Chain A
Amino acid sequence: MRLALAIASFVVLIVHGVVFYDQFFYRWERHQTAYFEQARSLSKNERERAELDARSPRIEQTIVTSFGDTRVDRCTTCHIASDDPRFAGHAQPLKSHPYSAAMGDVQRNGRWERRHKFSDFGCTVCHDGQGRGLETKYSHGEDEFWPEPLTGYVTQATWRKDFAAKLKGNTYMEANCAQCHTAEDFAGTPSVNRGRKLFYAMNCYGCHKIDGMSEGTLGPDLTEAGKKFKIDYLWESIVEPRANLASSFMPKFNLAERDVRALVVFLKSRRGVNFAETSLDRYKAHVENVAVVIPPGTAGEKAGEQLITDRACTACHKLGDRDGGIAPDLSYEGLIRDNLWLMDHFTNPRSRVPDSIMPTFRFPGEDFERITAYLGTLKTPPPAMPPADTYKTLCARCHGEKGDGEGKVAWYLDPAPRDLTKVGFMNSKPRERFVASIQEGVAGTSMPSWKNALKPEQVNGVLSYVLTTFTKEPSREIKPHNVPDQNPVASSATSIQHGEAIFLERCTGCHGRKADGKGPNSLDITPKPRNLRNAAFVASVNDRRLFDGILYGVQGTAMPSWIDYGLSKNDVGDIVNFIRSINQKKGSQQNAGQ
């Protein structure tokens, strides 16, 4: 054991020695020594040489307090010649920083003078990187944990290899220029300016919020995108929106590489509070920018068609062979929607489909009119073809190839498309109801009216195809329920109150306290409980159907038959009055009873 003790104590000694040795020989010392030697050979007189001889390696640093937090930049410890014009031709790290008129440097009497003096600005305010670090790995931000690697120079090991090459170049540093040079047309930051225009032109603002620029709520807030995310993440999110978040429904915009770069640089420049602005500036920017008017697009004959491309409508919608895979097909829009519907849909998408996710875009009115006019011309009905093909062309996008209501855009539609394979539902409803749904559409949902696009025999053909292929079971003999055609209970304050009381007691589990179909149980139910505040839908449904649904339930859904749970017709009448009352437009409250 004494031997082991002796060995162990020598291990301790050796480790001490290694650590001790390690602490006294640094790369930066070698760089500084090399600089002193080379500067000595370049110096013109004895005094300069003596001065250089007197210097010994030490940590050089610039402390900058002007930009937000205190920055300590020790970059000049290695890059000690950064401001020594004699070293312009040397290799890094002993290379002097280039002068450039683009950065505001001026030439006086044959000598360059810097606009941004290193002693005032430091280094990291423009270049990023870790100013305090003294090892390349850390100071250049190659360490995966450093949020701001040297912009445009360093790509971290964890970044995607296929993007790495695209993430290099001076362009990216514009994001840092824009921290102070915030003018929208600042000549030094062309990429930021381009990115900002693209942010509007490509409709990013519709879904994303940037403080003072946009109010979108569908996507993440990008106000501090530049602070939160590294450029590889930004690039990836634009190019492959689902790479980071599988459930993301951000469309793939298929932008050109330089547009992606411009957007990345622009987003990188979004770092929240800008130290060049006062809070008053920000408030002004907010007021001005929210009211920003997007210049109208091209006018002329094909203006509407061009606008649909320019405004990236097809990033979500389908038109011809371009398909964003998120929103409904516009190919037959002139047949299935009228111009009034389209204009309402543009100015406030939720006026027609209350749960639509379509953002409210701020295009000028004439743009909307042009797009509407163009869509109104799409009146070519689909060619006559077998019902199966008609279904595939027109219905499958929402109702799914297998009729299970899982079409490619179904996830984004609320209310969801009907699952046509649900036998319980499908064969408990009369055929006339399905024909009506196809021909007239379903108000308040994405189901349009097909009567102008499909001839009655085509409608019947598709319906038969659906019933035989998807529903499979033949329609049952439907027993007529004993329900009134008209609500026998007159609407009155007491009736509504009573209806509300029953609703709160019996219905909120699924339909929610607000009757918006989002009760606690709704998560586990398919199809989802109906949003009873969808005014357009409620208005389109007659009392008979409401009574039938409540009293005898809706087969194939979670809606039970309430007559079995002791609700009388009068109770249902009160509930119907209550549901109708919450869907009255404001101002017409007094007319509710008439």
Chain B
Amino acid sequence: MPVASTNPQSHTATDEQHMPRRKVLAWLTSVGLFGSAVLSAVSNLVFIKPRATYGQPARFAIGKPDDFPSGTRISLDVKRVCIVRDGGRMAAISTTCTHLGCIVGISDTGFACPCHGSRFDQDGTVTGGPAPKPLPWFKLSLAPNGELEVDKGTMVEPGTYLNV
């Protein structure tokens, strides 16, 4: 255990020589510790962000296009998505109200939110109530096995249909 500078006598020539070495070592130590601190801080953030969720997966299959005859407007409440088929065109519209997140119901004119009275038309455009934004459309695609897949992780422009 080197005892540092408690007494003036120990400030000898050898001590002077040690000073630059000590500085380098101190610098190295701080780099090591600081780097580790940064890395562990970053990794903690990565840790906290879940890579697999515990709810419903964002990407899920809903069945074959034939299961949805033309004119279908069916709301899959658990998945919070409304599947629309109009002739050969299909789309998936979110049923989560853009106001405060209630599940909107299907009404004659489109969608209606039971919580605060927001109204949307058939395409999810706001027609009344406090909702600030139209209902988003999710990407709908045809998987190689012939099943329709909704990807709630990807939104598309309203009015983008999948031709089946």
Which residues of A are interface residues toward B (Cβ below 8 A)?
A: 1-3, 5-6, 8-10, 12-13, 16-17, 19-20, 23, 39, 51, 54, 58-63, 72, 74, 83-86, 111, 113-114, 117, 119
Contact = CB atoms under 8 A, between A and B. Distances in A.
A12 B36 contact: yes
A85 B32 contact: no
Nearest to A3: B25
7 contacts: A9-B36, A13-B39, A16-B43, A63-B57, A83-B144, A85-B144, A119-B61
A84 B29 CA distance: 54
Interface in B73-127: none
A53 B110 CA distance: 34
B141 A51 contact: yes
B154 A54 contact: yes
Contact of A60 (B54, B59, B147, B154): B59
Contacts of A51: 141
A86 B143 CA distance: 11
A144 to B, nearest CB: 25
B46 A10 contact: no
Contact of B28 (A9, A16, A74, A113): A9
Nearest to B38: A16
Contact of B43 (A13, A20, A72, A86): A20
Given A16-B39, A119-B61, A9 B29 contact: yes
A197 to B, nearest CB: 38
B145 interface: yes
A10 B28 contact: yes
Nearest to B62: A119
Contacts of A114: 145
A-B pairs, 7 with minimum CB distance: A9-B32, A84-B144, A16-B39, A6-B28, A2-B25, A119-B61, A59-B52
Which of the four size classes fits the interface of chain B? 20 to 34
A86 B51 contact: no
B36 A23 contact: no
B10 interface: no
Contact of A16 (B35, B57, B60, B61): B35
Contacts of A12: 32-33, 36
Given A59-B52, A111-B146, A9 B39 contact: no
Contacts of A60: 57, 59
A477 B36 CA distance: 97
Contacts of A20: 39, 42-43
A2 B43 contact: no
User: Which of B33, B46, B56 has the largest number of chain A CB atoms within 10 A?
Assistant: B33
Given A13-B39, A63-B57, A74-B52, A84 B143 contact: yes
A12 B52 CA distance: 29
B155 interface: no
Interface in B6-24: 22
A63 to B, nearest CB: 7
B161 to A, nearest CB: 12
B144 A16 contact: no
Contacts of B55: 63
Contacts of A63: 55-57
Contacts of B32: 6, 8-10, 12-13
